Structure 1
Amino acid sequence: MNLVEFLQDLSLKGVKLWLDNGKLRSGGSQKVLKSDIVNQLKQHKAEILQLLNEQPDLLQVHALSYGQKGIWFLWQLSPKSYAYNVSFAIRIYSEVDINIWRQAFLILRERHSSLRSTFPNRGQAPIQWIHQDQKLDFLQINAAIWDEETLRAKVVEAHRHPFDLETEPVMRVRWFNCSEQDHILLLTIHHIAVDGWSLNLIVKELSEIYQALLAGVEVSLQPLTHTYQDYVHWQQALVEREEGKRLWDYWQQKLAGELPVLNLPTDRPRPAIKSDHGAAYPFQVSQQLTQNIKALAKSEGVTLYMLLLAAFQVLLYRYTGQEDILVGSPTSGRTESEFDSIVGYFVDLMVFRSDVSGHTSFRDFLAQVRQTVMGALDHQNYPFTLLIERLHLERDPSRPPIFQVSFALQNLLEAQEIQQFLGRTDTFINWGGMEVKTVAIDQYENQYDLTLEI
């Protein structure tokens, strides 16, 4: 362990080190500041003073949330993968001031510390290092001579460029200059720093910041009262309290016994190690069928989510013949309202285990699914990454653990800002008073054999 790692390890353990008129001061956890630690600090005092002068953010290090740990572990297994690159792109048909856009991203990044963090490995675990003066990864690209096919290929290539979470910024901006009145803005962020809710915040705030700068007025976003680190502390405290035991007992009981592996019929052999290669098949449900589904859900006293999940599980039973069905589903992870305005990785996963056998009708099965969903929602705060760890499952590198199929019903009202940008076709939209055109980019997080997203 070198000196930087030693100091950051102390910071993670609650030791406070700071400069006071050129002198080194210490405080915090007295359990950690034992005589041998104090002696090491004295021995390396001159070097420590120099480090803290040169890197004021050296000790801005924090533990990761359980979800971040899971993402980091997957990145470490496949550091060249782009499966967790999250992007949106717009095309602007007007003259722009690049410096204003650059300033807008700087303000956005200063507001949300997750966007100016790196995630180096320290000993046995990664940490989040929040940087004070990290260089903004903003690159202008001359695209004037490219045809449309080449331009789109270059945008996709930029989206897919892998991140180095240990040393590089987790947010990058690529500005493609096609002409003085034709530009493409591509924003790409690694999933370890954002989720879908965060993207909605970013799209909204970025527009407000840009418009304020353009008008020459003060940027007046609502001040943040909490940080992502507050969420990490809240989550850790939760699992250590009696409430954490209650949540763990529930999931331990629900996932007891041998967990079935869903064997979907495939047209080729399964690779020994799961890859990120996949594709999406978009389809549209007719208005009449949508109305019928909603009417059925209402008459049965269930939510639209419950009805669609039940239908999906029956479909899986039909294709596999398996009666014990496990399906995963994402949650926002923001059950506490104080975290609603924070950019970060909050999303988590729930597991729905349903037994298709013994039901004489779909109505009977739907009633079971209703109870399953209600129980899972009541226990959703238990981190999925910790659940995997505590179940001590035998890992199969060719499959994701616990479940192989996922289901998601998107709430467009909660994410209406970002949904405009994530369509599968290029569309003109009004973004904060600007008429822009979205640039569709295929983005897949191919963790699972099959995902149904509605």
Structure 2
Amino acid sequence: MDHYRGRDSALNEQVLWRLRGPYDHEAMTRAVAALTARHEPLRTTFPPGRRLRQRIHEPRPVPVPLTDVSAEPDPTAAARRIVATEVATGVDASVWPLRPLVLRIDPRHHLVVLTLHHYCSDDYSNALLARDLRALYAAETGEPADLPAPQWQYAQWARWQSEQLSGANLARLTEYWTGKLSGARLVKLPARRQRPVPDGEPPWISVEHYVDAETTAGLRQLARQHRTTLFPVTLAVFYALLHTETGADDLTVASLFANRTQPQVRDTVGFFASMVLLRERVTPGTTLSELIAQTRTTVMAAMRHQDLPHQLLPPDTVTGGTGRTDDVLFQLLGGLMTRADMAGEELDDMEAQLERRRFALEFVVVPQGDTLSALLLCSRADFDPAWADAFVRDYVSLVRRAVTDADVPLAELRAAPVT
């Protein structure tokens, strides 16, 4: 992504934390320094060169700028603009992988922003950093901090991974994925763009609709009936929607897995997330309930074989589309680890990060307490905003259909599109 899309996408991760009440900036500066001392990737640089190499630095103080926006006419809006600029501004990992910042919205309301290069963090790691920074700041202000020590640092895991991806184990993983994906074709949604993108419009479309609490509860119950989690259930509904949109009976989409099969990395920060291709075959008579069961099996098998980095698949394992294997990506955000900032105002803070340019079409389901949010991010050059809005609405309607009548065949969905 950095090589091919680096100029189109700031490959940044962000950790955001709102503090309300008394604030001690010197204590926060010490907490950030303690955070970098605790996690090696936050002090790892990658010198330029043909081969990517890591250089781990000794712990050292990290400047934490404090920007006061309290005098602005709308301090919250001003803070949001700064956060959006931060995530859109690249982090030079050859110099330092972490860029902290604190915004003062008023004397008793501060927003802590950690912007990190994607080389050194992922969604699971962001959750760890949010947890750790809270605890370390509390410790600096006199409260006890009870944090488990990371068993492995990222470099230890990288050596372990290198050893695993050789010999018989590499052959086993490669055999599984080539067998699973042989003959698969990328999902290619019909081009929906009817007119050129007007000047001044953002290059990406962002559409969000919500699944109500009653339907969400029914979806969780459906997952329990299938002895699985929300991820296979919400993915199965996405497959059903793709089937109604394209008429394709062989569907392959990308997703991101935590890739933390070793217990030693439970508290380790780093870029572990692994892209996997999830292939599902359907027939006109397949019901939503049967598709959920199939998807559960597919996801469980993929989890057992997620150790193989996607780029080590033999070339042309999957064909079609534009040649990229991540044109259509599905995620259940927050499913890897509970995020302390995944609610209310803090969830709104993530808008800038979610709108990063990463994939041609990214569909994200976000748990929000008792409800779900369905979010579509796609290229405005390829898709029309009206189509994008209808696509997400149809997904929400299909979720309701799955809860009320999971035995409906997909053929009926295709014959009578959900509205």
TM range (shorter): 0.7 to 0.9
Q: Which amino acid aligns with 2:71?
A: I
Residue deviations 1:87-146 (CA, integer Å, cap 9, x gap):
233444444322111111011101111001111233x31111112256624222243432
Question: For 2:204, what is the secondary structure of its paired residue?
Answer: coil
1:251 aligns with 2:163: no
Where does residue 153 of structure 2 map in the other structure?
227
Where does residue 93 of structure 2 map in the other structure?
165
1:84 aligns with 2:7: no
1:406 aligns with 2:316: no
Distance 1:368 1:186, change over 3 A: closer
Where does residue 307 of structure 2 map in the other structure?
381
Question: For 2:182, what is the secondary structure of its paired residue?
Answer: coil
User: Following superposition of structure 1 onto structure 2, how do residues 410-449 of structure 1 map, counting pairs within 5 Å?
Assistant: 410=333, 414-420=337-343, 423-425=346-348, 439-444=349-354, 445=356, 446-449=358-361
Shift of 1:403: 4.2
CA–CA separation in structure 2 for the residues paired with 1:411 and 1:155: 20
CA–CA separation in structure 2 for the residues paired with 1:246 and 1:422: 46
Where does residue 362 of structure 2 map in the other structure?
450
Contact 1:407 1:451 in 2 (8 A): yes
Using the size of structure 2 for normalisation, the TM-score is: 0.75
Sequence identity (%): 23
Where does residue 130 of structure 2 map in the other structure?
203
Question: For 1:153, what is the secondary structure of its paired residue?
Answer: helix
Q: Unaligned 5+ residue runs, structure 1?
A: 1-73, 426-438
Contact 1:261 1:403 in 2 (8 A): no
Q: Unaligned 5+ residue runs, structure 2?
A: 367-419
Residue deviations 1:381-409 (CA, integer Å, cap 9, x gap):
2111222xx3256999x957224222223
CA–CA separation in structure 2 for the residues paired with 1:372 and 1:243: 20
User: Following superposition of structure 1 onto structure 2, how do residues 136-285 of structure 1 map, counting pairs within 5 Å?
Assistant: 136-148=62-74, 149-166=77-94, 168-215=95-142, 221-257=147-183, 259-268=185-194, 277-285=203-211
Q: Which amino acid aligns with 2:129?
A: I
Q: Which amino acid aligns with 1:348?
A: S
Shift of 1:354: 1.4
User: Following superposition of structure 1 onto structure 2, how do residues 294-443 of structure 1 map, counting pairs within 5 Å?
Assistant: 294-300=220-226, 303-357=229-283, 359-387=285-313, 390-392=314-316, 399=322, 401-410=324-333, 414-420=337-343, 423-425=346-348, 439-443=349-353
Distance 1:370 1:447, change over 3 A: same
Alignment RMSD:
3.1
CA–CA separation in structure 1 for the residues paired with 2:288 and 2:19: 50
Shift of 1:329: 1.8
Q: Which amino acid aligns with 2:309?
A: P
Q: Which amino acid aligns with 2:362?
A: L
Shift of 1:283: 2.4
Question: For 2:207, what is the secondary structure of its paired residue?
Answer: coil
Q: Which amino acid aligns with 1:150?
A: A
Contact 1:330 1:408 in 2 (8 A): yes
Shift of 1:420: 4.3
Contact 1:88 1:422 in 2 (8 A): no
Q: Which amino acid aligns with 2:315?
A: L
Aligned to 1:114, which of 29, 41, 65? 41
Where does residue 396 of structure 2 map in the other structure?
none
| Structure with bigger gyration radius | 1
CA–CA separation in structure 2 for the residues paired with 1:421 and 1:288: 19
Shift of 1:205: 1.4
CA–CA separation in structure 2 for the residues paired with 1:421 and 1:119: 36
Tell me which moved more, 109-118 or 187-196.
187-196
1:98 aligns with 2:25: yes
Shift of 1:179: 5.0
Larger RCO, structures 1/2 (Cα 8 Å, 6+ apart): 2
Residue deviations 1:242-266 (CA, integer Å, cap 9, x gap):
1221111010112213633422442
Shift of 1:443: 1.4
Tell me which moved more, 303-312 or 184-193.
303-312
Q: Which amino acid aligns with 1:391?
A: P
Q: Which amino acid aligns with 2:182?
A: A
Shift of 1:411: 5.2
Question: For 1:391, what is the secondary structure of its paired residue?
Answer: coil
Give the length in aligned residue pairs: 358
The runs of at least 4 consecutive aligned structure 1 residues that moved more than 6 Å come to 393-396
